[in-house]
Structure 1
Amino acid sequence: MSGTPEGDAGQVRPDSEQRAGVGVGADRPVRAESLADLLGGRRGAIDATLPPLAFAAGWLLGGESIWAGVGAALAVGAVVAGVRLRRGDRPRSVLIGLLAVCVAALIAVRTGRAENFFLIQLLSNAASALAWAVSIVVRWPLLGVLVGAVLGQRSRWRRDPALLRGYGRASWVWTATYVLRVAVFVPLYLSGQVLALVVARVALTWPLVAAALAVSWMVLRRSLPPGHPGLRHPVVESPAAPPR
């Protein structure tokens, strides 16, 4: 799970205001922001596929040499980290991404098995699937936690029953993406199919993230009752006034 807000982060308005163009002029339609606007994710997912692609290219061109693959992956990983820093990504996030590439490379070199370059990815997806599922069960759905952090709401969204329910339902979409990756990666890893792992890594990274953003946003929107003001405005009941 690897996103930062991007795109239009304008205020979400009730449907009636969107149709009327309130605040922006009646002749200009308002585009409601989506999860892709708030969380981004697609750009980071594309970046994450570049080191594995470089590993596969180096491995093949080097006559299935793990050292050649590792060298190519580390070089591309360093370039990606530099580009991400220049475009303003958080240093901590950049360093974690680069560290993941380094650890994957170290495991592949120490074990002498090219498929082990993808072991970290497999384990992280299994852990993510478990974490997302548990978060829904304990009523702290991770999608709500992420969006709430981006919007600076802390835990206020949890006091809106509609948002809590919607985030829970939409979080199952993300849980399913991690389960799907594990289901695909495990047999390929166990059979040592390095090129197939690269193809699966690319196919199940940015295209799957884009699909998950779209589907979870649809699920979330349909979970909210008509007239709900949107993600930026949790409907929290005020505590009853004390008797005078």
Structure 2
Amino acid sequence: MTAPRTPVEPTLREILGGRHGAVDATLPAGAFVVGWLVAQALGSTSAVAVGGAAAVVVAGVVATYRLARGHRPRSVLLGLLPVAVAVAVAVATGRAVDFFLVQIVSNAGSALAFAVSIVIRWPLLGVVVGLVLGRKTRWRRDPDLLRAYGRASWVWVGQYLVRLVVFLPLYAADQVVALGIARVALTWPLVAACVALSWVVVKRSLPADHPGLLHPVAPGTPVRPNDHGES
């Protein structure tokens, strides 16, 4: 009789996904910069509003496409919200560079949140992965997983800090086009690198005999042979 097949351990890339969200986030930003540049070239006195309208239109097209592809309405709406807020801020101040202020604040807040979560031993990477995998907070009872998620969460802190190091000087210098380029360059490519590196950190932080993310091991709990995929 053949033993039941043990589920294959998923990677962080498979667990977190994020490619569509990261790519979609760059399209409205690119549309804002292009719309703003075209309006300025035509001598418009409402270049920021034109750029904002372009960003909203592109965000709406992306949202419609995602809904048609079966994405959850809630996640689609959450993707629209940052664009709407960014446009509102830029239009309110009349400064095109302020379109990027929301993301700058968001990255600063995310870096702080991840760092604090590590210090209080609730690393956010573990919280997210635990929820996605349906393990909730059981990983916290596993000292090895707790340590691995804590170490890997520092990679995410680094991701947000990299963006801040690039974005803040450009924002201070009022470099709208450069910010748009940086937004594209530091979205999906940086997210992909962060996910890959944090996965390496997680795997290297776990003992060789650990059954993996799907099988948190509480202290004193014996590891079953099947947890390693053995028959």
TM range (shorter): 0.7 to 0.9
- More deviation, 112-121/95-104: 95-104
Q: Check if 1:179 corresponds to 2:161.
A: yes
Q: Check if 1:45 corresponds to 2:42.
A: no
In structure 2, distance between residues paired with 1:237 and 1:88: 42
Gaps of 5+ in 2: 42-46, 222-231
Q: Check if 1:33 corresponds to 2:15.
A: no
Deviation at 1:89, TM superposition (A): 2.6
SS at the partner of 1:63?
Answer: helix
1:219 is aligned with what amino acid?
V
Q: Say if 2:163 and 2:186, in contact at 8 Å, map to a contact too.
A: yes
SS at the partner of 2:209?
Answer: coil
In structure 2, distance between residues paired with 1:159 and 1:121: 34
1:39 is aligned with what amino acid?
L
Q: Say if 2:141 and 2:218, in contact at 8 Å, map to a contact too.
A: yes
In structure 2, distance between residues paired with 1:192 and 1:102: 21
Deviations 1:210-233 (A, max 9, x none): 000100000000000012111001
Q: Check if 1:115 corresponds to 2:97.
A: yes
Q: Which runs of structure 1 show a deviation greater than 4 angstroms over 4 or more consecutive aligned residues?
A: none
Q: Say if 2:9 and 2:214, in contact at 8 Å, map to a contact too.
A: no
- Equivalences for 1:86-235 in 2 at 5 Å? 86-235=68-217
Q: How many residues align?
A: 213
Deviations 1:91-111 (A, max 9, x none): 222212211111111111111
2:159 is aligned with what amino acid?
T
Deviation at 1:50, TM superposition (A): 0.4
Aligned Cα root-mean-square deviation (Å): 1.7
Aligned-pair identity (%): 61
In structure 2, distance between residues paired with 1:82 and 1:44: 14
Deviation at 1:87, TM superposition (A): 2.4
Structure with bigger helix share is 2
Q: Check if 1:81 corresponds to 2:59.
A: no
Gaps of 5+ in 1: 1-21, 25-29, 240-244
Q: Say if 2:9 and 2:213, in contact at 8 Å, map to a contact too.
A: no
